[in-house]
Amino acid sequence: MAETKSVGSREATRRSERVHLQIPIEVQGELANGVRFRESSHTLIIHREGARISLEHPVEAGAVLHLTNLRTGVACPFRVVGKVDRAIGRVPEWGVECLKPEIDFWGIHFPADDGAHPETEHVDVLVECSGCYSRELARLGLRDYRDLSSRGVLGRNCPICGRESEWTFGYAEALAQTDPWQGDAAPAETPSSGGGEEKRIAKRLAVKLPISIRLPNGQEEVARTENLSRMGVCFISDLKLEEGDFIRLTVGYVLGENADEVMARVVWRRSREEANGFIYGVHLEHKE
């Protein structure tokens, strides 16, 4: 029987930026005993070379799986890198690598880092072309990001359209029942037509934005968001916070600039796949 490997070190050395997106997929493969299976699932993290996926069937490192992107219908073979030691969700998670990178399986362009913007002066954000609806995990300078935030659109060249077009934010898909990246601890509730209440999930933006975290004892850390919405933020931090803790955040932090802080409450914490740090979801304590 093949040995199941951890993927923590492999993910740490990936060549492209990752983005937390739940893309519905169908997975077909074969177990160690030769039994074939088919499972409807979803991704948790994607990058140009592969993904992390939820999968209940116990596959082995090295096994070849055939994934179908249920949003686009595109199919592609992937190799299992190994099982993730520290899962984000409640279903077992596996790292997989794409065996045919020439296929546009995700429908998202992952440009290489050209070094044009220093680490503290750029924002990685999922954007969508309003002309052809292609999506890109774009690395924007702070000025362009602020322009996009204020106007809702940004003029930039589209490699698919072949001309300059207007780009808007690309929302992160969310599966309301299983979304482990939901930063809104208490999703807004809206009355249903039957007189009861149904929960809606606030739209999330896949944005890696500089963020300043300040604790009541004065301890501070600068990190980056993983995704955010009107009500909540998800980020990775080395600080050890507990559920229910209150912190102050400056979203869009720039060293030397004055910006408003907002009070936030920690609503969930999960260990990272790496040894250090935690993934946090916080609820923003404001009414607007």
Q: What CATH class has 208-284?
A: mainly beta
Residue 11 near residue 95 (C-beta atoms within 8 A): yes
Q: Which of 83, 89, 92 is nearest to 62 (CA)?
A: 83
| Torsion of the alpha carbons at 125, 283, 187 and 272, rounded to the nearest 10 | 60
Task: Compute the distance between CA of residue 34 and CA of residue 23 in angstroms, rounded to an integer.
Answer: 28
Q: Coil, strand or helix: which one is 137?
A: strand
Domain boundaries, the chain: 8-98, 111-169, 208-284
Which are the contacts of 11, defined by CB distance < 8 A and separation ≥ 6? 18, 52, 95, 273
Q: pLDDT at position 179, please?
A: 55
Task: Compute the distance between CA of residue 35 and CA of residue 39 in angstroms, rounded to an integer.
Answer: 13
Across the strands, what pairs with 124? Answer: 139, 208
Q: What CATH class has 8-98?
A: mainly beta
**How big, in percent rounded to 5, are the helix, strand and coil portions of the chain?**
5, 45, 50
The H or E element spanning position 46 is strand 36-47
Low-confidence residues in the chain, pLDDT < 50: 1-14, 176-177, 183-200
Task: Compute the distance between CA of residue 186 and CA of residue 284 in angstroms, rounded to an integer.
Answer: 10
* Beta pairing, strands 197-199 & 24-30: unpaired
Task: Compute the distance between CA of residue 60 and CA of residue 127 in angstroms, rounded to an integer.
Answer: 35
* Beta pairing, strands 50-54 & 93-98: antiparallel
Task: Compute the distance between CA of residue 7 and CA of residue 24 in angstroms, rounded to an integer.
Answer: 22
Q: pLDDT at position 87, please?
A: 72
Q: pLDDT at position 112, please?
A: 64
* Beta pairing, strands 163-169 & 154-158: antiparallel
Which are the contacts of 162, defined by CB distance < 8 A and separation ≥ 6? none
